[in-house]
Chain A
Amino acid sequence: MHELGIVFNIIKEVDSIAEQNKVKEVKEVTLEIGEVSGVIPTYLTDCWKWACLHRSKLMKNCELKVIELKAKSFCEDCETAYDTVKHGRKCPNCGSAKTYLITGKETNIKDIKVVYEEEENVNEKSESKTDK
């Protein structure tokens, strides 16, 4: 259910970017999802098709691609980075709890693949040139 809300947000954002860019159709959306973002990629895929079909304008046949980003934390005491999922908040090298997450919380829209109708925008400039 959580993922459905996120998918609705993605659709809203992508549809509006697609409209601004006057594209005909969005073919593919690529997301970057961090390992500890709380978003589960397979759940996203589950509701993706339905949501695109019912809630989007330019994304009716849009594929979803997910790039998963590993979670890494940094220890302030011994100044090393380590795997967050494996070791949690405690540094595996020195045992310190003074650690913070460097990457892994991302839920980004990376890019979109769009289709344009060709032979457009050619005369745009000449039309708006001189009006006096």
Chain B
Amino acid sequence: MESVKIIEIKKSVFSANEMDANELRKELKEKGVFLLNLMSSPGAGKTTTLIKLINELKKDLKIKVMEADIDSDVDAIKIKDATGVESIQLHTGGMCHLDAEMTKQGIDGLKDFDVDLVILENVGNLVCPAEFDTGACMNMTILSVPEGDDKPLKYPLMYQVCNLVVINKIDTLSVFDFDMDKVKENIHMRNPNAEIIPISAKTGEGIDKLANFLKSEISKWRKM
């Protein structure tokens, strides 16, 4: 009374997520909301950079932030206190990354869409977030000087999927053996189109350049 059958599938494990991601990207385009996915290792300075960046951008753009962490809401509170910008905390339920479905839930949770830029601060991790397309319009990663100029060699996929690489903590260059030319070479080996912007989130150096780059990318995207 039961029959067993084999169904051929031959599909990538990531194909369902990629479909969700493309759908979300389309939806965001219709709403005119630019979603920036920010990734890095833990401690590279994502939250500090975001605070400086938002304070530079908020006079020109309406911004909201989604914070993804395995637990706690310290980052969401920190961002709100330091910038006044609405920030919501997403918990990944133990997972090391956000996927497109979780990102969509976050976007839907923002309530009103009178916003130009949503920044998604992904879980601090250089492996898994690179593998799951969130549906963002642009991927950005931060590499901080103490981590070393060879990071792009060790985590190639992260640098392949990011078109914007920010080199943070350049105020510490004198105490580390970090070669700026070498890091650029290593990044461009993985992604020849990557824009590289050195900054110090602590001193504020380079934040204006980063802000201007994002503004021009957003206006290019709007005309697309």
- Does A associate with B in a complex? yes
Binding site for B on A (CB under 8 A): 1-2, 4-6, 8-10, 12-14, 16-17, 21, 23-24, 27, 31, 38, 106-119
B10 lies within 8 A of chain A by Cβ = yes
The 8 Å CB contact of B1, one of A16, A31, A112, A117, is A117
Could you tell me if B9 and A110 are in contact, using CB atoms closer than 8 angstroms? yes
The 8 Å CB contact of B15, one of A13, A27, A117, is A13
Could you tell me if B99 and A5 are in contact, using CB atoms closer than 8 angstroms? yes
Interface size class of B (residues with CB under 8 A): 20 to 34
A46 → B minimal CB distance (Å): 14
Could you tell me if A4 and B95 are in contact, using CB atoms closer than 8 angstroms? yes
A20 to B4, CA, bound (A): 16
Q: Contacts of A17 on B, CB cut-off 8 Å?
A: 7, 9
B57 lies within 8 A of chain A by Cβ = no
Binding site for A on B (CB under 8 A): 1-17, 94-97, 99, 127-128, 131-132, 157
Could you tell me if B5 and A116 are in contact, using CB atoms closer than 8 angstroms? yes
The 8 Å CB contact of A114, one of B5, B96, B99, is B5
A-B complex: 9 closest residue pairs judged by Cβ atoms? A1-B96, A107-B13, A2-B128, A109-B9, A13-B16, A116-B3, A111-B8, A5-B95, A118-B1
Interface centre among A13, A111, A114, A116 (most CB of B within 10 A): A13
